[in-house]
């Protein structure tokens, strides 16, 4: 058996919102079951116990690594995020988040309503001391201009916040840097600022202050501003932006594959060769869409919490949930949250940074 | 001859920056020559007279409709926009803009340095009274969700400004609406706000104020917020956003075709059918790139000036310049600037708008 716990490793337990996502509870439960076969992670499934047990009965799993906490409340995509905590205090997503606060679990996975998930985590998962704002980081495919071992980069924030202050953005860079370093297995990931021009003074006051701070932080491998057409090139491992812009950019990219195939049909209507090409490619375009679902990395991390919090895509299949659980367990064992905490403390206590922040 | 002027029409003269763009002066001059054959527009070519004459000698044109103003200064892409007006006061782009101020021409076309062009126009082309900020509008291809006669929509501002105030954004909507109505030939174009969610309160204070004003303006066909993945669908004829966001989104879209073909090669490496598809499609991907160069509509208008100001793409070929000149002449004859002026005055004098602006 390949899932015998290494006796040197502490047990890592991940709470999974069994009722979150378009395909819940089936895919979250099957994904959790598979995770217990593929890894040493323990899983607590939070949701409708009878439905969960029925699903588990039909699949293989390691019974020693699975536990169920019952609730019959859950959040739908139609729920207004701001109302969820008051109206559905026993929702599976919320109970799962509370398990973090109690120290019962080390990480959290949900494919449910993003806004409600961010708010539940903000309410019940302890924040790292010194972190001003948490951020959602998208893991997205690039052209790999830097010739890394993989084709993915991190874009944050993509919507935990709308507008940000200078220090928020610098903290996003630091948190993204730690995360990218770990998941990409590289010691010194490059960090860039998404802007409307390369020059340091571009994009208004806030962005040019962020530029100056990142440029002078000795432990940040800052490569400067990148523009919209560079986002997909992979010129940097971590791309920092305000939630407002990151959300619009990420959704624009997600909408592209569909549009291209549609536009293609229009533009190439009378060209047999092109038509042939589109038919041959249709499977490929689907593959690209799946890539942008970031299922390969198991989901988008919410950074800034003392626990690992992973948002899996709403349409996640079992495999994506399995990956998300393994990712959460690995991130915990790699002590990502502790490393982020150290990095943030170091930044906040750095007096030379105060000079930069307030004197230019 | 199909270019005999209709005696009822006043002569329309367009200044063309013969030295602007990656392929200048060849393509701007050949494009201008062709415009005199295809339309009644008069053209003043501003640039190096000897080079212009040499090019004209090798092509056909209507000599009655072409004039040359000589200068040996011109702006390159390497020039820093903020320094151009002081350092190169006789640059072709600047002299062309001055022809607007003098009333010698009714419109302006350049494929040169965008930043320098915006600043030259701002300095020398009179602004419409009441317009707070001018805007660059991108004409981009969509999936035509509204089933219009064409596949294009307008996104503004894409970079004349960085951040904007409520009233700036409302004015962008009004200017875009007039322009879209004219070039798309539809009486009541739909207008949307680019945001991070459909709900009116999304995106922070400024955007939600803009939402409320547009929603209550009786002459604006406002369809609410659209998100990033809706940009390419064509859910609205006019999409309003801050220059900062519009610039990043437009450049992200421009970078996509290249990335897709690259990513495709990676993802499909071992699939012969997909490879075949990509080869068959490569011409199509080029076509899509050209579409996003908005050459079909001749260029991106700079809105808010008393004259028609068109920014042609930096890589414009003769045909795109010809189209830009014809577009500028048509926009003048259609009195787009006058209509924008009326719309802006009406908005600014509307006291019920003051109530909305300051009382919520």
CATH number at residue A89: 3.40.718.10
Residues B22, B88 within the same domain: yes
Q: Is the dihedral of CA B32, B35, B37, B41 positive or negative?
A: negative
- Structural domain contains residue B7: no
Candidates B260, B273, B288, partner chain A, best to mutate (most A CBs within 10 A) = B260
**Rounded Cα gap, residues B356 and B340, in angstroms:** 22
Whether A196 has its CB under 8 Å from any CB of chain B: the answer is yes
Q: For residue A334, which phi and psi values (nearest 5 degrees)?
A: -80, 0
Contact yes or no for A281 and B278 at CB 8 A: yes
What mean pLDDT is predicted for residues A150-176?
Answer: 92
Quick one: which of A143, A204, A133 has its CA closest to A173? A133
- Structural domain contains residue B3: no
Measured between beta carbons, the chain A residues lying within 8 angstroms of B263 are 141, 143, 151, 288, 291
Range in A258-262, A291-295, B350-354 with the lowest mean pLDDT: A291-295
Candidates A142, A198, A227, A229, partner chain B, best to mutate (most B CBs within 10 A) = A229
Q: Which residues contact B289 (CB under 8 A, 6 or more apart)?
A: B254, B257, B258
Q: Where a domain ends, among B259, B274, B293?
A: B293
Measured between beta carbons, the chain B residues lying within 8 angstroms of A279 are 277
Residues B109, B158 within the same domain: no
Judged against a pLDDT cut of 90, whether residue A49 lies above it is answered with yes
User: Mean pLDDT for chain A?
Assistant: 86
Residue B355: per-residue pLDDT: 61
Whether A254 has its CB under 8 Å from any CB of chain B: the answer is yes
Judged against a pLDDT cut of 50, whether residue A360 lies above it is answered with no
**Rounded Cα gap, residues B115 and B160, in angstroms:** 8
Q: What is the Cα A195 distance to its own chain's centre?
A: 22
Domain range for residue B238? Answer: 137-293
Measured between beta carbons, the chain A residues lying within 8 angstroms of B290 are none
Contact yes or no for B252 and A251 at CB 8 A: no
Torsion of CA B169, B173, B179, B180, to 10 degrees: 130
ipTM: 0.81
Contact yes or no for A256 and B253 at CB 8 A: yes
**Rounded Cα gap, residues A136 and A125, in angstroms:** 15
Contact yes or no for B228 and A159 at CB 8 A: no
Q: Give yes or no for a contact between A323 and A14, defined as CB atoms under 8 angstroms apart.
A: no
- Structural domain contains residue B98: yes
What mean pLDDT is predicted for residues A184-191?
Answer: 92
Residue B16: per-residue pLDDT: 98
- Structural domain contains residue B353: no
Q: Give yes or no for a contact between B21 and B315, defined as CB atoms under 8 angstroms apart.
A: yes
Residues A279, A209 within the same domain: yes
Q: Which residues contact B57 (CB under 8 A, 6 or more apart)?
A: none
Q: Which of A163, A252, A279 sits opposite B249 (nearest CB)?
A: A252
Whether A37 has its CB under 8 Å from any CB of chain B: the answer is no
Span A64-102, pLDDT tens digits: 999 999 999 999 989 998 899 999 999 999 999 999 999
- Structural domain contains residue A6: no
Residue B322: per-residue pLDDT: 95
- Structural domain contains residue A88: yes
Span A218-254, pLDDT tens digits: 999 999 999 998 888 889 999 999 999 999 998 888 7
Residues B226, B268 within the same domain: yes
- Structural domain contains residue A2: no
Residues A80, A146 within the same domain: no
Q: Which residues contact A31 (CB under 8 A, 6 or more apart)?
A: A16, A316, A317, A318, A319, A320, A321, A322, A324, A325
What mean pLDDT is predicted for residues A99-116?
Answer: 95
Please name the residue of chain B whose CA is at the shortest distance from the CA of residue A193: B248
Span A120-143, pLDDT tens digits: 999 999 999 999 999 999 888 777
Q: Which of residues 256-275 of B touch A (CB under 8 A)?
A: 256-260, 262-264, 266-268, 271, 273-274
**Rounded Cα gap, residues A325 and A215, in angstroms:** 35
Please name the residue of chain A whose CA is at the shortest distance from the CA of residue B242: A245
Contact yes or no for B268 and A259 at CB 8 A: no
- Structural domain contains residue B220: yes
Q: Which residues pair with A135 in a beta bridge?
A: A303
Q: Give yes or no for a contact between A75 and A91, defined as CB atoms under 8 angstroms apart.
A: yes
Residue A269: per-residue pLDDT: 52
Angstrom CA distances, B67 to A214, B43, B53, B298, stand at: 52, 6, 10, 21
Position with higher pLDDT, A272 vs B350: B350
Apex A329 CA angle, A326 and A332, nearest 5 = 150
Q: Give yes or no for a contact between A260 and B239, defined as CB atoms under 8 angstroms apart.
A: no
Residue A356: per-residue pLDDT: 59
Quick one: which of B326, B336, B294, B329 has its CA closest to B312? B294
Please name the residue of chain A whose CA is at the shortest distance from the CA of residue B247: A196
Question: How many domains, in total, are found in chain B?
Answer: 2
Residues A121, A160 within the same domain: no
B229 Cα to chain A: minimum distance (Å): 4
Position with higher pLDDT, B355 vs A193: A193
Quick one: which of B184, B186, B187 has its CA closest to B327? B184
Residues B154, B285 within the same domain: yes
Q: Give yes or no for a contact between B188 and B181, defined as CB atoms under 8 angstroms apart.
A: yes
Q: Give yes or no for a contact between A217 and A169, defined as CB atoms under 8 angstroms apart.
A: no
Span A307-329, pLDDT tens digits: 999 999 888 899 999 999 999 99
Q: Is the dihedral of CA A345, A346, A349, A352 positive or negative?
A: negative
8-state DSSP, A247: H
Q: What is the Cα A124 distance to its own chain's centre?
A: 18
Candidates B143, B150, B163, B273, partner chain A, best to mutate (most A CBs within 10 A) = B143
Candidates B226, B244, B289, B315, partner chain A, best to mutate (most A CBs within 10 A) = B244
Digit-by-digit pLDDT tens for chain B (360 residues) are 444 445 566 799 999 999 999 999 999 999 999 999 999 999 999 999 999 999 999 999 999 999 999 999 999 989 998 899 999 999 999 999 999 999 999 999 999 998 899 999 999 999 999 999 999 998 887 777 788 877 788 999 998 999 999 999 999 999 999 999 998 888 999 999 999 989 998 899 999 999 999 999 999 999 999 999 888 888 999 999 999 999 999 888 877 755 665 555 554 454 555 555 555 555 555 555 554 555 556 688 999 999 999 999 888 899 999 999 999 999 999 999 999 999 999 988 876 666 655 544
Q: Which of residues 112-141 of A touch B (CB under 8 A)?
A: 141
Q: If DSSP codes are grouped into helix, strand and coil, which group holds residue A275?
A: helix
Candidates A113, A281, A283, partner chain B, best to mutate (most B CBs within 10 A) = A281
Exposure string of A322-355, with b = 16+ CB inside 10 Å and e = fewer, is: bbbbbbbbbbbebebbebbbebbeebbeeeebee
Residues A172, A146 within the same domain: yes
Residues B72, B198 within the same domain: no
Q: Which of residues 210-249 of A touch B (CB under 8 A)?
A: 227-233, 243-245, 247-249
Contact yes or no for A284 and B291 at CB 8 A: no
Q: Which of residues 141-160 of A touch B (CB under 8 A)?
A: 141-144, 151, 159
Q: Which residues pair with B68 in a beta bridge?
A: B45
B285 Cα to chain A: minimum distance (Å): 8
Residues B92, B169 within the same domain: no
Predicted model pTM = 0.84
Contact yes or no for A259 and B228 at CB 8 A: no
Angstrom CA distances, A103 to A97, A98, A107, A303, stand at: 10, 9, 10, 18
Q: Give yes or no for a contact between A20 and A117, defined as CB atoms under 8 angstroms apart.
A: yes
Quick one: which of B270, B256, B273 has its CA closest to A279? B273
Tell me the H-state helices in A272-350.
272-292, 318-333, 336-348
Angstrom CA distances, B340 to A34, A61, B59, B130, B311, stand at: 62, 67, 38, 10, 18
Please name the residue of chain B whose CA is at the shortest distance from the CA of residue A255: B229
Quick one: which of B239, B254, B251, B245 has its CA closest to B162? B245
Residues B117, B143 within the same domain: no
Residues B308, B202 within the same domain: no
Quick one: which of A84, A87, A86, A96 has its CA closest to A19? A96
């Amino acid at each position: 058996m390949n899932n015998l716990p290494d006796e040197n490793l502490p047990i890592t337990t991940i709470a999974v919102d069994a009722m979150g996502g378009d395909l819940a509870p089936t895919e979250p439960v099957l994904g959790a079951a598979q995770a217990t076969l593929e890894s040493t992670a323990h899983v607590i499934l939070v949701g409708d116990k009878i439905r969960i047990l029925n699903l588990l009965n039909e699949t293989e799993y390691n019974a020693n690594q699975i536990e169920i906490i019952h609730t019959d409340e859950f959040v739908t995509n139609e729920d207004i995020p701001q109302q969820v905590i008051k109206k559905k205090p026993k929702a599976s997503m919320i109970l799962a988040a509370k398990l973090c606060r109690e120290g019962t679990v080390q990480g959290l996975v949900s494919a449910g309503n993003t806004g409600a998930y961010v708010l539940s985590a903000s309410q019940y998962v302890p924040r790292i001391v010194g972190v001003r704002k948490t951020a959602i980081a998208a893991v997205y495919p690039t052209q790999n201009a830097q010739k890394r071992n993989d084709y993915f980069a991190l874009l944050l924030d993509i919507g935990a916040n709308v507008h940000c202050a200078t220090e928020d953005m610098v903290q996003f860079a630091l948190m993204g840097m730690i995360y990218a370093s770990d998941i990409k297995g590289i010691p010194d990931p490059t960090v860039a600022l998404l802007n409307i021009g390369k020059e340091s003074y571009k994009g208004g006051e806030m962005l040019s202050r962020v530029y100056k701070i990142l440029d002078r932080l000795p432990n940040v491998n800052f490569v400067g501003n990148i523009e919209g057409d560079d986002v997909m090139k992979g010129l940097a491992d971590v791309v920092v932006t305000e939630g407002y812009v990151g959300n619009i950019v990420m959704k624009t990219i997600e909408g592209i594959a569909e549009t291209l195939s549609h536009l293609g049909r229009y533009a190439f209507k009378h060209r047999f060769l092109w038509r042939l090409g589109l038919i041959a490619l249709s499977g490929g375009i689907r593959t690209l869409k799946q890539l942008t679902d970031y299922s390969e990395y198991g989901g988008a991390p919410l950074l800034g919490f003392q626990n690992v919090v992973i948002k899996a895509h709403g349409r996640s299949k079992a495999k994506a949930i399995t990956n998300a659980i393994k990712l959460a367990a690995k991130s915990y064992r790699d002590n990502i949250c502790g490393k982020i905490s150290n990095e943030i403390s170091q930044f906040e206590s750095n007096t030379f940074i105060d000079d930069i922040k307030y004197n230019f």
